[in-house]
């Protein structure tokens, strides 16, 4: 499967999720953008490196980089390889001089490491086709031009929290698991509160 190279276009505050940020990636040879909702800590970790700032003490991603350098482990590339129910999946392609190893990682962590190792970020065409947005003034035929904020809102996880009371307990438990797996803890807490409310009644 052919890989598509991505660049980091920017970070913006998410209009749809409190405390979250939108990381916008863009294909190098194209106009499509891939907005990904990430947490505040990961956004800070990416922004600090992009701005070439040096924290007084190493952040977690800096520690990982220092650890890798100490043991001669190189991060060759980051691949965003799947998209399931709005959640992006990424992996680190590492080499220690002898063998290449793939390590599963959250997309936000993978990109925070990519900027530290100065390694390329890739995805696949099917992901860009499914989640890519064209942010150009002259969109391709059949595509809609939107702002970053609109793109983030469009790609934000579905908001059916108002209908939680209409869901069965089993449905809520499944939704809770998905929210936790997707690290959407704000939504998970609302689902948990609805489950707790039912236990009391």
What are the 10-residue block averages of pLDDT along the chain, 201 residues in total? Answer: 91 72 89 88 88 85 94 96 91 92 96 96 94 62 39 42 76 80 64 79 68
Sign of the alpha-carbon torsion through 105, 85, 187, 26 = positive
Same-domain check for residues 39 and 126: yes
Q: Do 171 and 100 reside in the same domain of the chain?
A: no
Q: Are residues 92 and 186 in the same domain?
A: no
How many domains, the chain?
Answer: 2
Residues 63 and 109 reside in one and the same domain: yes
Query: Distance between CA atoms of 192 and 189, rounded to whole angstroms?
Result: 5
On whether both 14 and 28 belong to a single domain, the answer is yes
pLDDT tens-digit profile of 131-181?
Answer: 888 864 444 443 333 344 444 444 444 444 557 888 888 888 888 777 766
Extract long-range pairs of 134-138: CB within 8 Å, 24+ residues apart.
134/31, 134/32, 134/33, 135/31, 135/33, 136/31
Find the DSSP H helices in 38-167. Answer: 40-50, 60-70, 107-117, 125-131, 148-155
Considering the domain architecture, whether residues 122 and 171 belong to the same structural domain is answered as no
Are 165 and 69 members of one domain?
no
40 and 95 in a single domain? The answer is: yes
What's the CA angle centered on 127, arms 188 and 140, to 5 degrees? Answer: 120
Query: Do 109 and 171 fall into the same domain?
Result: no
Q: Where are the beta strands (DSSP E) in the chain?
A: 3-13, 20-27, 32-39, 74-84, 87-95, 100-106, 121-124, 133-134
**C-alpha dihedral, 13 to 135 to 9 to 107, nearest 10°:** 70
How much is the pTM? 0.67
The predicted structure's pLDDT at residue 12? 80
Same domain, 108 and 185: no
Structural domain boundaries enclosing 8: 3-155
102 has which bridge partners? Answer: 93
Give the CATH number, domain containing residue 97.
3.10.690.10
Q: Are residues 131 and 167 in the same domain?
A: no
Same structural domain for residues 194 and 135? no
């Amino acid at each position: 499967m052919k890989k598509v190279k991505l660049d980091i276009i920017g970070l913006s505050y998410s209009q749809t999720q409190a405390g979250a940020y939108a990381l916008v990636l863009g294909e190098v040879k194209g106009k499509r953008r891939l907005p990904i909702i990430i947490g505040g800590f990961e956004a800070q970790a990416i922004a600090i490196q992009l701005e070439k700032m040096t924290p007084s003490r190493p952040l977690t991603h800096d520690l990982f980089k220092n650890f890798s350098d100490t043991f001669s482990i190189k991060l060759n590339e980051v691949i965003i390889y799947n998209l399931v129910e709005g959640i992006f999946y990424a992996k680190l392609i590492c080499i220690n001089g002898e063998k290449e190893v793939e390590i599963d990682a959250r997309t936000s962590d993978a990109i925070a490491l990519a900027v530290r190792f100065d390694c390329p970020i890739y995805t696949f065409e099917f992901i860009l086709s499914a989640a890519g947005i064209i942010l150009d003034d002259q969109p391709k035929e059949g595509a809609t031009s939107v702002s970053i904020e609109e793109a983030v809102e469009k790609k934000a996880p579905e908001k059916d929290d108002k209908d939680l009371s209409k869901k069965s307990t089993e449905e809520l438990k499944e939704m809770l698991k998905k929210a936790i797996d997707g690290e959407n803890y704000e939504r998970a807490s609302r689902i948990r509160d609805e489950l707790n409310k039912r236990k009391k009644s």
